[in-house]
A = this chain, B = another copy of it.
Amino acid sequence: MSKKDCPAQNGFVQCDCDVIHEDVVERVRSAMPEGDSFYKLSNLYKMFADNTRLKVLWALSCETMCVCDLAFLLGMTKSAISHQLKSLRLSNLVKYEKRGKVVYYTLADDHVKNIFNMGFEHVLE
């Protein structure tokens, strides 16, 4: 397979090399998840890829907390925390409940804890 055959999403040649192991590439390509799986997955990991969000998620994996508590715990402004909570909401990682003036945040489900555990296992070795 020559350089000019290099495929890409838009049909144009994008890579700058010949294929060295055509069989390997073909096997991997055929096993590759379709659609937007990778896009969704990388977006999920983005939520864990920021120090502040990671701490927020971890804190919420301990207890339900309001914005003030989180801001106090992490030594940050309510605004900064609130912006991050919005991202986490949009990613369906947290739920919230408003009681009076106070908004309480909780983890959406236990997948988050599992993802944490996998990560910590790798870091603590």
Instruction: List, in ascending order, chain B residues with CB within 8 A of A25's CB.
Output: 65, 69, 72-73
A98 at the interface (CB under 8 A from B): no
Taking residues whose C-beta sits less than 8 angstroms from the other chain, chain A's interface range is: 35 or more
Question: Do B16 and A122 touch across chains, with their CB atoms under 8 A apart?
Answer: no
CB contacts (< 8 Å) of A42 on chain B: these are 48-51, 54
- Give Cα distance in the complex from A32 to B60, angstroms: 11
Which single member of B17, B77, B102 contacts A14 (CB below 8 Å)?
B77
Q: Write the nearest CB–CB distance from A49 to chain B, whole angstroms.
A: 4
A16–B71 CB distance below 8 A: yes
| In the complex with contacts A17-B71, A75-B15, A54-B45 CB distance below 8 A | yes
Among B28, B51, B66, point to the contact of A21 (Cβ < 8 A): B66
Q: Mark A44-67, 1 if CB is under 8 A from B, else 0.
A: 111011110011001100111110
Measured in the bound complex, the distance between the Cα atoms of B65 and A30 in whole Å is 15
| A10 CB, nearest partner CB in chain B, Å | 8
Cβ contacts under 8 Å, A45 to chain B: 45-46, 48-49, 54, 119
A–B complex contacts, Cβ < 8 Å, 21 sampled: A7-B75, A14-B77, A15-B68, A15-B78, A16-B78, A24-B63, A24-B65, A27-B62, A27-B63, A28-B59, A28-B65, A41-B54, A41-B119, A41-B120, A41-B123, A42-B49, A44-B122, A45-B54, A48-B49, A114-B121, A118-B118
